A and B are shown apart, each in its own frame.
Chain A
Amino acid sequence: MANPVLADRSTATPDKPGRRPRPGFGRRDHVVGWLLIAPALVYFVGFLLYPAIAALYYSFTDWNLRSSPSWVGLSNYTDLLFDDVKYPHFWKSVQVSLLYTVVAVPLTLVAALGQALLVNAIRRGSNFFRLLLFLPVVTAEAAVGAIWRWLYDPQYGLINVILGWFGVPPQNWLNNPDLVIPALAFISAWQCGISMIIYLAGLKGIPVSLREAAIIDGAGPVQRFRRVVMPMLRPTTFYLLVTGVIAALQVFGLVYVIFSAANKSVTGGPEQAGLTYVLHLYLFAFRYDAMGAACAMSFILLVFIMIITALQFKFVKQEAA
């Protein structure tokens, strides 16, 4: 009982041997139990656990999917990190994904909170608006890609028209290397429906008494938002931040759809400005015949995500105050 947490728990519910029947495989209800969870278990082992372990193994091999993999030790990892002849765009893809994460995640959180506040404030028809705001999430990615290509069109695009009202000259959003990531991040913010729903739930969970007390104390709407709503939403924000960062670091589908449809080319947009980490990984796995290196990339990403997530748990406030 070295672990204090376990020790606490064992004093709360004593688990002495002999008190209750010990689990065993011979009993019939266990057979039925195993059978009932068998489909989920088969799925977990066959489609999640086994591929993950296999991928770890392949990451130490040179493998083109067809012939048998040959063991190369750590060289996939060291080549990815240090050999810019073999992997000229590896670090570029890291940079692209990081930039995307830094722009897209805050933008998405702000958009989601804004929408949640609006929907929460509406007395009638909030279901309708909630549905409207949620639609971008359930729209097929290919359709999203097509629609946004039109919206970003340098000649006829609605975005340029709207910016034109404010005197901004027309931009070539998806073909100017500096604008690609902001343009993609904006699409992800538009698709913030799930975060919006979670924020909405968070807002509903703030006790009305707090708001009333704040009003009695003379707090205006801005103060109430800053001193009551935001602190009370902290666990929600933390959850959305952590999951949002993980999802943003893995962004793939949208970039793939946007660039392959626009240019018949999946190489990541102008000057590799849209070559996200997972798109780069995908190209090596399925286009350049290097599944071993692609597996190594996925484990580098896994370690990176774990570090980033641990840092967030350490440094970001997560308790409601």
Chain B
Amino acid sequence: MSRRVAGAAAAIALIAGLTACGGGSDAGDTPTLTFWMYQPRTPQAGQIYEDLRKGFEKANNVKVKYVQIAKDDYNTKLSSAIASGTAPDAGVLDQPLVSRFALDKTIVAVPDGTIEESAYYKGALDTNLSEGKLFGLPLDQTTVGLFYNKKLVPTPPKTWDELKATVNQIHQADSKIAGIVVPKGDGYGAWMWPGFVAGAGGALTDDANKKVLFDQQPAVDTLQMWVDLLPSSPRQITDSDNAFANGLAAMMISGPWDVSTIKDQFPDLDFNVAPLPYKTEPAGNIGGENGVVFSTSKNAALAWKFLQYITSDANNAKFADAFGGYPTNVKAAEQTAATIEPQQAAFLEQLKVAHARPAVPQWIQVNDEIIAPALEKALSGKATAQQALTEAADKTRSLLGWNS
């Protein structure tokens, strides 16, 4: 008898455990839009998302359900959801993933007439392109600028020549101080590099004509310029933890996330941020997130409406700020510009001339596995800039199957 009871209890416990995994449904009369996003960075950011959600629900008489996932797990969870047919209606997507998701038709193109393109920053909008068509709306954007220690660099260099001169002068004056933290030949450095290439009037690729361009003069000059900075910016100094914040390096290239970190942890450091020095024209790189609608969504029209809502003149400044980036909507950015801290202004300014990454599905792999090692090869002196980039461009052509 007692055995039977134990067996039954075990069976019940097991069944209860299994069913607990299944979710309940909260279907009502009002349409519900599911939106996947990263977990809020701060409680304040969470509150902003909530307020925006309520505003949209009220105006449209619908429900919006946020699913907030830790950023590190986001892409994996999203892929699993798509594979198992439980993709949300809409969601946040890292810029370089848009062309990949577009390629396998996981996301849908922006319907004609949905947006006024001129309302958005061009660089940010371009990050949604795949084969010439838009597949999402830019939610927020970011870039890198030139951080400079005001004690060591009274006026920030505007051009490459000024940058080189400043860097040499600082290291000559005090050999314990590096002129600038030169970016590395790794995935992160390879992400920043195109901003400099664009500053020399170049580009990495011509997507429309399937051409690799980073073995040409502007790109070679850019890499050579990085190489030229190294003698006055020894790695032995700049590889130290927080070399810029500790005053060991007079300048560094980094993004807005470091502004708040330095202000919190190094309150005594007197620094400001300037746009990236350029050779022929001001330019920058771009990062950030886009909003996309998944092809399985039954509420696509509503989903686009929601994405328009969070990228609108009225709301995008709040949303982008909560996300940790800058608005992609031009009018919203004007609001941000009016209230911004001085160290943030340069980023916002530079985003006007920022260039999107190549819209190539394999770009992250090209960035990490081909361009990054080529940069490192030249920076470590194992090849000239031209040799390293010629080799890398050829590898990229083979990988992508492009002829030129």
Q: Which residues of A contact B (CB under 8 A)?
A: 28-29, 31-32, 35-36, 38-39, 64-67, 85-86, 88-89, 149-150, 153-156, 170, 172, 174-175, 177, 259, 263-267, 269-272, 283, 286-289
Shortest distance in angstroms between A110's beta carbon and chain B's nearest beta carbon?
A: 29
Given contacts A35-B14, A67-B83, 19 further A-B contacts (CB under 8 A): A28-B7, A38-B14, A39-B14, A64-B100, A65-B80, A65-B83, A66-B79, A85-B395, A88-B373, A89-B369, A154-B240, A155-B236, A156-B240, A175-B239, A263-B188, A265-B372, A267-B369, A271-B185, A288-B368
Contact at A65–B187, with CB atoms within 8 Å?
A: no
Contact at A66–B10, with CB atoms within 8 Å?
A: no
Contact at A267–B237, with CB atoms within 8 Å?
A: no
Contact at A288–B186, with CB atoms within 8 Å?
A: no
Q: Which residue of chain B has its CB nearest to the CB of A87?
A: B369
Does B4 sit at the interface, judged by CB under 8 A?
yes
Can you list 13 contacts pairing A with B, beta carbon distance less than 8 Å? Answer: A28-B3, A35-B10, A36-B10, A64-B104, A65-B79, A156-B241, A175-B235, A259-B186, A263-B184, A267-B186, A270-B186, A286-B75, A289-B100
- Chain B residue numbers with a CB within 8 Å of A66 are 79, 82-83, 101, 104, 106
Does B399 sit at the interface, judged by CB under 8 A?
yes
Per-position contact with A for B1-33: 1 when CB-CB < 8 Å, else 0? Answer: 001101100110010000000000000000000
Within 8 A of A (CB), among B228-260: 235-237, 239-241, 243, 248
Shortest distance in angstroms between A83's beta carbon and chain B's nearest beta carbon?
A: 10
What is the size, in residues, of chain B's interface with A at 8 Å between Cβ atoms?
A: 47
Q: Given the known A-B contacts A35-B10, A267-B368, A287-B368, are A85 and B398 also in contact in the complex, defined by CB atoms under 8 Å?
A: yes
| Cα distance A36–B13 in the bound complex, in angstroms | 11
| Cα distance A175–B184 in the bound complex, in angstroms | 10
The main secondary structure of chain B at its interface with chain A is: helix
Contact at B362–A288, with CB atoms within 8 Å?
A: yes
- Chain A residue numbers with a CB within 8 Å of B241 are 149-150, 153, 156
Q: Given the known A-B contacts A38-B10, A64-B104, A88-B370, are A271 and B380 also in contact in the complex, defined by CB atoms under 8 Å?
A: yes
Shortest distance in angstroms between B75's beta carbon and chain A's nearest beta carbon?
A: 7
Contact at B373–A271, with CB atoms within 8 Å?
A: yes
Within 8 A of A (CB), among B48-89: 75-76, 79-80, 82-83
Contact at B239–A174, with CB atoms within 8 Å?
A: yes
Contact at A287–B236, with CB atoms within 8 Å?
A: no
| Cα distance A153–B79 in the bound complex, in angstroms | 38
| Cα distance A80–B373 in the bound complex, in angstroms | 19
- Chain A residue numbers with a CB within 8 Å of B240 are 153-156
- Chain A residue numbers with a CB within 8 Å of B187 are 265-267
Contact at A35–B11, with CB atoms within 8 Å?
A: yes
Contact at A67–B364, with CB atoms within 8 Å?
A: no
| Cα distance A39–B10 in the bound complex, in angstroms | 10
Does B201 sit at the interface, judged by CB under 8 A?
no
- Chain A residue numbers with a CB within 8 Å of B185 are 270-271
Per-position contact with A for B181-195: 1 when CB-CB < 8 Å, else 0? Answer: 000111111000000
- Chain B residue numbers with a CB within 8 Å of A36 are 10
- Chain B residue numbers with a CB within 8 Å of A153 are 240-241
Does B365 sit at the interface, judged by CB under 8 A?
yes
| Cα distance A32–B8 in the bound complex, in angstroms | 9
Q: Which residue of chain A has its CB nearest to the CB of B382?
A: A271
Interchain CB contact (< 8 A) of B248 among A86, A155, A266: A155
- Chain A residue numbers with a CB within 8 Å of B126 are none
| Cα distance A269–B80 in the bound complex, in angstroms | 29
Does B313 sit at the interface, judged by CB under 8 A?
no
Does B376 sit at the interface, judged by CB under 8 A?
yes
Closest 9 CB pairs of A and B: A155-B240, A65-B79, A265-B186, A265-B188, A35-B10, A267-B187, A288-B365, A265-B187, A67-B104
| Cα distance A66–B361 in the bound complex, in angstroms | 14
Q: Which residue of chain A has its CB nearest to the CB of B75?
A: A286
Q: Which residue of chain B has its CB nearest to the CB of A287?
A: B364
Contact at B3–A154, with CB atoms within 8 Å?
A: no
| Cα distance A37–B248 in the bound complex, in angstroms | 61
Contact at A31–B368, with CB atoms within 8 Å?
A: no
- Chain A residue numbers with a CB within 8 Å of B188 are 263-265
Q: Which residue of chain B has its CB nearest to the CB of A157?
A: B240
Per-position contact with A for B356-385: 1 when CB-CB < 8 Å, else 0? Answer: 000001101100111011001100100000
- Chain B residue numbers with a CB within 8 Å of A29 are 3
Q: Given the known A-B contacts A64-B104, A283-B368, are A154 and B184 also in contact in the complex, defined by CB atoms under 8 Å?
A: no
- Chain A residue numbers with a CB within 8 Å of B395 are 85, 88
- Chain B residue numbers with a CB within 8 Å of A31 are 7
Q: Which residue of chain B has its CB nearest to the CB of A28?
A: B3
Shortest distance in angstroms between A177's beta carbon and chain B's nearest beta carbon?
A: 8
| Cα distance A170–B176 in the bound complex, in angstroms | 14
- Chain B residue numbers with a CB within 8 Å of A264 are 188
- Chain A residue numbers with a CB within 8 Å of B361 are 289
Shortest distance in angstroms between A26's beta carbon and chain B's nearest beta carbon?
A: 14
| Cα distance A36–B8 in the bound complex, in angstroms | 11
- Chain A residue numbers with a CB within 8 Å of B243 are 155
| Cα distance A131–B3 in the bound complex, in angstroms | 44
- Chain B residue numbers with a CB within 8 Å of A175 are 235, 239
Shortest distance in angstroms between B157's beta carbon and chain A's nearest beta carbon?
A: 24
Highest count of chain A CB atoms <10 Å: which of B185, B370, B373: B373
Shortest distance in angstroms between A156's beta carbon and chain B's nearest beta carbon?
A: 7
| Cα distance A66–B373 in the bound complex, in angstroms | 29
Shortest distance in angstroms between B43's beta carbon and chain A's nearest beta carbon?
A: 23
Q: Which residue of chain A has its CB nearest to the CB of B11?
A: A35
- Chain B residue numbers with a CB within 8 Å of A265 are 184, 186-189, 372
| Cα distance A32–B7 in the bound complex, in angstroms | 5
| Cα distance A32–B235 in the bound complex, in angstroms | 66
Contact at A288–B364, with CB atoms within 8 Å?
A: yes
| Cα distance A65–B77 in the bound complex, in angstroms | 10
Within 8 A of A (CB), among B242-293: 243, 248
- Chain A residue numbers with a CB within 8 Å of B373 are 88-89, 271-272
Q: Which residue of chain A has its CB nearest to the CB of B176?
A: A155
Interchain CB contact (< 8 A) of B239 among A38, A85, A172, A289: A172
Per-position contact with A for B168-204: 1 when CB-CB < 8 Å, else 0? Answer: 0000000000000000111111000000000000000
| Cα distance A289–B370 in the bound complex, in angstroms | 16
Interchain CB contact (< 8 A) of B235 among A149, A172, A259: A172
Q: Which residue of chain B has its CB nearest to the CB of A289?
A: B100
Contact at B186–A286, with CB atoms within 8 Å?
A: no
